[in-house]
């Protein structure tokens, strides 16, 4: 597990964007796992800049998003479908038929979840999965007490997550109770994982995920078992880590060939 404490969220986002760009340049047919929420927005902004100014080509890239609200269609302003098109897809040359999100309007939810898992498998699996982290340690919408082997399925949100995400909804509008989310087991199969978490509201979750015991009570802690997981923090989100100095020392002394 790599833990990188960045001076600012912007610096962390640049690093994440450079990792994604390096992957896409090396393998133009990469399969990217993408996330929503506030944390990845600056990463997407930088990828858009790289596309527009440096010709970063997404025409052969396939994407799979982590999750979607049940009951929200693509046209709903708070749907993750809309979030992704607004914040990334409409600004780059990704092919719409290569973009995948769970279907928030699925009539047969279990069948739709199974189809999503199959589509990931048929695409050859996810090369790099971008993740945020909930203030309670959730990844995607895998709330505490999610099975660490779980697959794409329906989940019920906690009130804390509903209130954390309320700012993405209009005033007086209900945050849905149900979602479709990739499971922890699905995420663990990505070949590389990059998790972003910034601000002091994420400090407890980051400390628990990185240095606490592996437990379903902190779904992000499962990443301790991932072969290639990178946690990108800022000063504030790293404030509760016990070994912060060591992580800084490791990063400052990285061999040149390991730098992105």
Closest residue by beta carbon to ligand GLP: 132
Token pair for residue 38? Answer: 């506030």
Token pair for residue 169? Answer: 């909804």
Question: Which of 56/232 has CB closer to ligand GLP?
Answer: 232
Instruction: Yes or no: say if 38 and 67 are a contact pair by the CB < 8 Å rule.
Output: no
Per-residue exposure over 68-80, b if at least 16 CB sit within 10 Å of its own CB, e if not: bbbebeeebebbb
Question: Which of 56/237 has CB closer to ligand GLP?
Answer: 237
127 is known as an active-site residue: no
Residue 6, classed as helix, strand or coil, is: strand
Task: State yes or no: residue 129 binds ligand GLP (CB under 6 A).
Answer: no
Task: State yes or no: residue 140 binds ligand GLP (CB under 6 A).
Answer: yes
Touching ligand GLP, residues 36-95 (CB under 6 A): 36-39, 66-67
Catalytic hit among 46, 68, 103, 136: 136
Question: Which of 56/134 has CB closer to ligand GLP?
Answer: 134
Catalytic hit among 46, 103, 127, 138: 138
Pick from 248, 103, 257, 128: nearest CA to 180: 103
| Shortest CB 82 distance to ligand GLP, Å | 14
Count the helix, strand and coil residues of the chain and give each as a percent rounded to the nearest 5: 40, 15, 40
Instruction: Yes or no: say if 54 and 151 are a contact pair by the CB < 8 Å rule.
Output: no
Task: State yes or no: residue 186 binds ligand GLP (CB under 6 A).
Answer: no
Binding segment (CB under 6 A) for ligand GLP, from list 92-100, 126-134, 185-193, 213-221: 126-134
Distance (Å, whole) CA 103 – CA 174: 19
- Residue 171 burial (CB count, 10 A): 5
Touching ligand GLP, residues 145-164 (CB under 6 A): 161
Report the catalytic residues.
67, 136, 138, 143
Positions touching ligand GLP (CB under 6 A) are: 35-39, 66-67, 132-134, 140-141, 161, 165
């Amino acid at each position: 597990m790599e833990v990188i404490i960045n001076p600012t969220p912007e610096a962390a986002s640049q690093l994440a964007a450079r990792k994604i760009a390096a992957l896409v340049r090396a393998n133009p047919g990469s399969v990217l796992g993408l996330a929503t929420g506030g944390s990845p927005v600056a990463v997407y902004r930088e990828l858009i800049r790289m596309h527009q100014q440096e010709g970063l080509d997404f025409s052969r890239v396939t994407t799979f998003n982590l999750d979607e609200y049940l009951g929200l269609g693509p046209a709903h302003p708070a749907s993750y479908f809309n979030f992704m098109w607004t914040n990334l897809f409409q600004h780059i040359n990704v092919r719409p038929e290569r973009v995948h999100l769970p279907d928030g309007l699925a009539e047969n939810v279990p069948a739709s979840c199974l189809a999503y898992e199959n589509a990931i498998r048929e695409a050859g699996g996810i090369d790099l999965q971008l993740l945020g982290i909930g203030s309670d340690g959730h990844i995607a919408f895998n709330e505490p007490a999610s099975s660490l082997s779980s697959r794409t399925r329906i989940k019920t949100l906690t009130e804390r997550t509903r209130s954390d995400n309320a700012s993405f909804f209009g005033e007086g509008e209900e945050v849905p109770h149900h979602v479709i989310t990739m499971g922890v087991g699905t995420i663990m199969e990505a070949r590389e994982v990059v998790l972003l978490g910034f601000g002091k509201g994420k400090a407890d979750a980051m400390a628990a995920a990185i240095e606490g015991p592996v437990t379903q009570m902190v779904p992000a802690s499962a990443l301790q078992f991932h072969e290639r997981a990178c946690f990108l923090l800022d000063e504030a989100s790293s404030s509760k880590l016990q070994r912060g100095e060591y992580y800084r020392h490791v990063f400052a002394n990285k061999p040149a060939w390991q730098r992105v």
